[in-house]
Chains A and B, each alone.
Chain A
């Protein structure tokens, strides 16, 4: 009898499992798995002005891209961008979290102010940055400010020497995402047991660098790793601010050549030039790069969670 009961329970569990999981599984299959397979077949095809795989050419699309200077340069560009934006976001969001966590007055005010930009879209933020904040004419806000000190207006976006456009691109992403990561750090900070700090002060360690170095930072390790990871993956997929500020189509297309990340290059290859085979292949190369960097980060910092 117990055996029968068990197998009945098994069956009802199996039925319940699939019933619960099937809507999400079906959706993910149709809108993610099928497209991944489709995209892979496209990446092996000569698919000019068509999204139907069929004219198979082996790995030629991959070979073409890996010998394409513009694509390789875009990979370098995105690595440089990540090298700037990831540590900067990390430092600023952690710094703000530490300050907000300790501040005596107006804590929720500050938290709100830093967090609110997360609600703004890249389209709107790029617009403000391009047209108003870093406008090249005297009516741009930054040009107005430096004008107060007698500095002439600077064309922030269109020149290569000095490459001020990096300042524009990095600050817009910083403004948009720092608040979100600050919140994650705040949550992490609040989970650090108070007893650790009390023990430290008994041992004579004053507040400041040693406590931060030997208590706060190690305790935040899991949080830090997930912030780094999310940040890194997002940086490698950068598209919106480059496309909207430097341009991806239209009049000033010359500025896009200054700093073109892989997704902007693949967008123009696939959607403007309609070469969906190479577009798909480039997507998989980028995915491989993201995997590699993630693994590398895991080797250096661990993946978080399990080491604790």
Chain B
């Protein structure tokens, strides 16, 4: 039996290895190109790796006065973390209320939130910009952050999650004299680690990778995010290929790390978005 399993799984493993190789090519290309000189990259004769890795591409990247990579990294990190924290807080609060607190108007609020989920961002992009301009958020970091903090999608997922939360635990807490806030803070939040981790990673990624909004709001270089800095390399009239790929490597690396560390939570979280509930 065991032998048969090993035999049938051999072609399967071979297939997977082949596809995995294909999936890794783009990462290989980032690494390869970021360590080459321009003429090595554009040479018609293919070299799998540079004979002399150009680590200086990376130091040049951080010295380029036209594209502040350090500021970009710092901005992206701050923006992603703040977005993450507030989105988790506000969404879990709203999700809890929608799932567990009986009150008039609850259904209306829920359908309102569901409705905003359906509208593509393209419809609201320009008017949101107008609102932000009125609020004075253009060219500020909070202006980049604020719209991303409020997500109908994560409110919806928190609601679905809290709907499944065992009623007995909540009732026991209520009998012990906990208020609604107490129940949320002492019972639900500590038991939401999985969903917070899963959604949190996705939020972090979305925020780190966001491009159009930070591009339009963050006009001053002091407000640029990594993606905006990257786009300066792409759109620059003088394309510097090695620096471009070095910048891509620097922009991608933190997320790959976050992914590797947090992967099991995302896998766990996939169950919530799987439509089972």
Given contacts A131-B244, A283-B123, contact A119 B155 (CB under 8 A): no
A186 touches B270 (CB 8 A): yes
Interface status of B175 (Cβ within 8 A of chain A) = no
Interface centre among A20, A117, A191 (most CB of B within 10 A): A20
* Residue-wise interface mask of A (183-195) relative to B, using a CB-CB cutoff of 8 A (1 in contact, 0 not): 1101110010000
Given contacts A99-B15, A110-B16, A123-B227, contact A35 B255 (CB under 8 A): no
B20 touches A123 (CB 8 A): no
Q: Which of B44, B109, B230 contacts A25 (CB 8 A)?
A: B109
Residues of B within 8 A of A263 (CB): 120, 122
A12 touches B9 (CB 8 A): no
A280 touches B90 (CB 8 A): no
Given contacts A113-B20, A128-B29, contact A139 B44 (CB under 8 A): yes
Given contacts A138-B44, A283-B123, contact A20 B15 (CB under 8 A): no
Q: Which of B124, B146, B205 contacts A118 (CB 8 A)?
A: B205
B5 touches A104 (CB 8 A): yes
- Complex CA distance for A222 and B160, rounded to whole angstroms: 15
User: Which residues 280-301 of A sit at the B interface, judged by CB distance below 8 A?
Assistant: 280, 283-284, 286-287, 290-291
A31 touches B131 (CB 8 A): yes
Q: Is the interface of B mostly helix, strand, loop or mixed?
A: helix
- Complex CA distance for A39 and B184, rounded to whole angstroms: 37
Q: Which of A27, A103, A141, A187 contacts B25 (CB 8 A)?
A: A141
Tally A residues with Cβ within 8 Å of B.
96
What is the CB-to-nearest-CB distance from A5 to chain B, in angstroms, rounded to a whole number?
14
The 7 closest A-B pairs by CB, nearest first: A226-B275, A27-B150, A283-B123, A35-B127, A17-B103, A121-B209, A20-B97
A to B CB contacts below 8 Å, 12 in the list: A12-B179, A31-B131, A32-B150, A36-B124, A39-B124, A39-B126, A113-B24, A127-B244, A128-B29, A132-B29, A188-B274, A222-B274
Interface residues of B (CB under 8 A from A): 5-6, 9, 12-13, 15-16, 19-20, 23-27, 29-30, 33, 41-44, 46, 89-91, 93-94, 96-98, 101-106, 109, 112-113, 116, 118-124, 126-131, 135, 146-147, 149-150, 152, 155, 179-181, 184, 205, 208-209, 211-212, 227, 230-231, 234-235, 241, 244-245, 248, 251-252, 255-256, 258-260, 263, 266-267, 270-271, 273-277
Q: A33-B116, A230-B273 are in contact. List 19 more A-B contacts (CB 8 A).
A: A32-B128, A51-B127, A96-B16, A99-B12, A103-B9, A104-B6, A110-B20, A112-B260, A113-B23, A119-B256, A120-B26, A123-B209, A129-B26, A133-B26, A184-B270, A187-B271, A223-B274, A286-B123, A291-B118
